[in-house]
Amino acid sequence: MKTLIIVESPTKAKTLSKFLGRDYTITASMGHIRDLPRSKIGVDTEHGFAPQYIVSRDKKATVKDLQAKAEKADLIILATDPDREGEAIAWHLAFLLDQDEVKGKRAKIKVDKKKEAHGKKIVRITFHEITEKAIKEALSHPGEIDMKLVNAQQARRILDRLVGYKLSPLLWKKIKKGLSAGRVQSVAVRLIVEREREIEKFKIEEFWTISSKFQVQSSKQENKTDSFLTELAKIEGKKPEIKTKDEAEKLKQILLEQKDYSVSKFEEKEVRRSPYPPFTTSLLQQAASNLFGWGAKRTMMVAQKLYEQGLITYMRTDSFNLNADAVSAARELIAKKYGKEFIPDAPKFYKTKSKGAQEAHEAIRPTDVMANVEIQGDEKKLYQLIYNRTLACQMTDAVYSQRSVEIENCIDSGLRRNDKEAGYLFRGTSSVLKFAGWKKVYDFDVETQHAASNVKNENIIPQLKIGNKTDLSEIIPTQHFTQPPPRFTEASLIKALEELGIGRPSTYAPTISTIQDRYYVEKEERKLKPTTLGMTVNDFLMKYFADILDYQFTAGVENSLDEVAEGNLDWVKVLERFYFPFEKHLNEIQDTAEKVHVEMETTDEICDKCGKPMVVRIGRFGKFIACSGFPECKNTKPIKQKINLSCPKCGADVIAKKTKKGRIFYSCSAWPKCDFAAWKKEEVLRSQMNKVMGGSAVPLTS
């Protein structure tokens, strides 16, 4: 029997072919093969929101090839990804490969009478890892397309199309042509804009802290003292408020003049720190951002490659579950490599925070922790991160010895005089790692973005007793300033969206990419900052469509889509409940909303043709600067984004530029006089070093 298996990508097809014999023909659909048309809304809102799907011009050859291969097959197996998108792709494939369905006659695939005995049909299989065991298990239990997941995907796609194609023309009319709006992307922009406004309103205030160095006689060696740091915690029972340098200096003198500093409290205890859970999609994106500086899109592209090569499980998931066999293999490896003391008595399980695990049944893990994997570059970095996290989550707790001390003046035998609060109270803590546990393999903290092994604990509090006399040897005043809330990074934005219940594993990366591609948000040193355009569009939408951008409302829509996927809600009713009030409100706004002027970003540059100031504009290929005298003066120039590197040919600044297709490269700012260019910053540095060593600059290569 001839069997055709269809997956999404050639890489995935190649990996499957390693496990299956010649009886199987494996081919790729190259992603979605049918979608709503770009030229019109493509949804019949008057008749049950019926979508008008089409095969785009660039997909017609692929569909023709798939149909030709399907005609020669007795069995067609749809093996697309195990989530809503994958289920929808399978459904579209089944439609296009069933010629009678295309003609609108019936839902089952056309059966050639000559091959009827072979039972030619279409089946669906799913698997969460591309391994021989998983594939053969899936093939032995074929099923049908899950229409609940298909309907959930359709509902999201149609909902986003209606919002985008209805709101965008309004933005063109009231603000500027070429703008767009989206249900989730606009909420993400709102978060970034509101954070920026918090930063703008924030008033920075000066304050000082007082650290102190105390000495006690060493318990280990005679005639030797132990020193340790503490911080002033209270003055006469109240938290100190030190506003200026003068106040800090005065307090320093007072503290140095005080006598009888003694230990009023000492505590030593064992503190256990549990490992992080295994990776979900959002946690992987956050860790890769914090540790490698990667964007969500880059992380998902690398993870997709690892999955399609059969190296990790499916990478779009919000579940912490791990396969029992995988846990057993991890425990076996840990015992063999690190010792039995690194294995807890029972496997560790982690509770998923979100409502159910909609997209996959497992967390992201290596498919085989015992395998020797030979990969390089980004793939190696991300695989190692996933590998280490998976082992760590099944290891024993890290154990610390933590000491805390309080030192006060006016202490006599450990008791306060007259039962009154001491004049000055200092506190200090220190921790020493006693047993590494899971930190043996995952020795860094994604929150603080550094390797723990590189952080030395310079302050170790010695063994003390209540009543021990201490000598104040040094007072260290330190100036600080209150800090505004930080701008979002991609990692912290994903975390915020997840906490609000907005978006799902498959939506984080495209949402963040979209708001940057449309120039509503831009990156400054990995931080997301709203553009003037982004703030203008956000303010307009918040004024007239605050309900659509409401966080709870958007999270409620996501929950409704989850209910559709679980079969508890009808997808058409979800759309009806949202769309018709939205359409009514939109029609009212068309006439009443005021036209908004977008303030253009100014520059320090003067037009060399007419002498007027140059301003920043946004065109088809991104930002550029243009004469403010347009249309009388049409002078334009590219924006020169300096990268703090000099040209190895002529010494001028090197600037970042974009090709027409959006690819970033680095060029000499003196172009066309100097033609140096490079694709990567590393190539600029290499060229500089080459010149220093007596060579020539390396030219741009494709």
Q: Which residues are catalytic?
A: 314
Peptide bond before residue 510 is cis, with ω within 30 degrees of 0: no
Cα 81 from chain centroid? 21
As a whole number of angstroms, the distance between CA 689 and CA 687 comes to 5
- Residue 672's contacts (CB-CB under 8 Å, 6 or more residues apart) are none
Query: If you search the block for the tokens 């089944």, which residue do you land on?
Result: 94
Q: Under DSSP, is residue 61 helix (H, G, I), strand (E, B) or coil?
A: helix
As a whole number of angstroms, the distance between CA 131 and CA 440 comes to 29
* Amino acid identity for residue 585 in this structure: H
As a whole number of angstroms, the distance between CA 279 and CA 494 comes to 14
Tell me which residue of 250, 275, 36, 64 sits closest to 162, measured CA to CA.
36
Separation of first and last alpha carbons in the chain: 46
As a whole number of angstroms, the distance between CA 468 and CA 479 comes to 31
Q: Which is it for strands 636-638 and 622-627: parallel, antiparallel or unpaired?
A: antiparallel
Tell me which residue of 132, 35, 140 sits closest to 77, measured CA to CA.
140
> DSSP states of 322-353 as a string?
--HHHHHHHHHHHHHHT-GGGS-SS-------
- Please name the helix (run of DSSP H) or strand (run of DSSP E) that holds residue 361, with its range, or none: none
Listed as own residue / partner, the contacts of 236-242 with beta carbons closer than 8 Å and 24 or more positions apart are: 236/421, 236/422, 236/423, 237/421, 240/210, 241/207, 242/207, 242/208, 242/209, 242/210, 242/477
Burial of 303 (0-12, 13-18, 19+ CB in 10 A): buried
The count of C-alpha atoms lying within 13 angstroms of the C-alpha of 103, restricted to the half-sphere facing its C-beta, is: 8
- Provide the token pair at 646: 């000099």
As a whole number of angstroms, the distance between CA 663 and CA 592 comes to 41
As a whole number of angstroms, the distance between CA 6 and CA 12 comes to 10
The count of C-alpha atoms lying within 13 angstroms of the C-alpha of 320, restricted to the half-sphere facing its C-beta, is: 15
As a whole number of angstroms, the distance between CA 66 and CA 29 comes to 8
Listed as own residue / partner, the contacts of 591-595 with beta carbons closer than 8 Å and 24 or more positions apart are: 593/170, 593/174, 593/540, 593/544, 594/174, 595/173, 595/174, 595/175
- Please name the helix (run of DSSP H) or strand (run of DSSP E) that holds residue 192, with its range, or none: helix 185-201
Q: What is the DSSP letter of 54?
A: B
Q: Which is it for strands 3-7 and 24-28: parallel, antiparallel or unpaired?
A: parallel
Q: Please answer whether residues 146 and 153 qualify as being in contact, where contact means their C-beta atoms are separated by less than 8 angstroms.
A: no
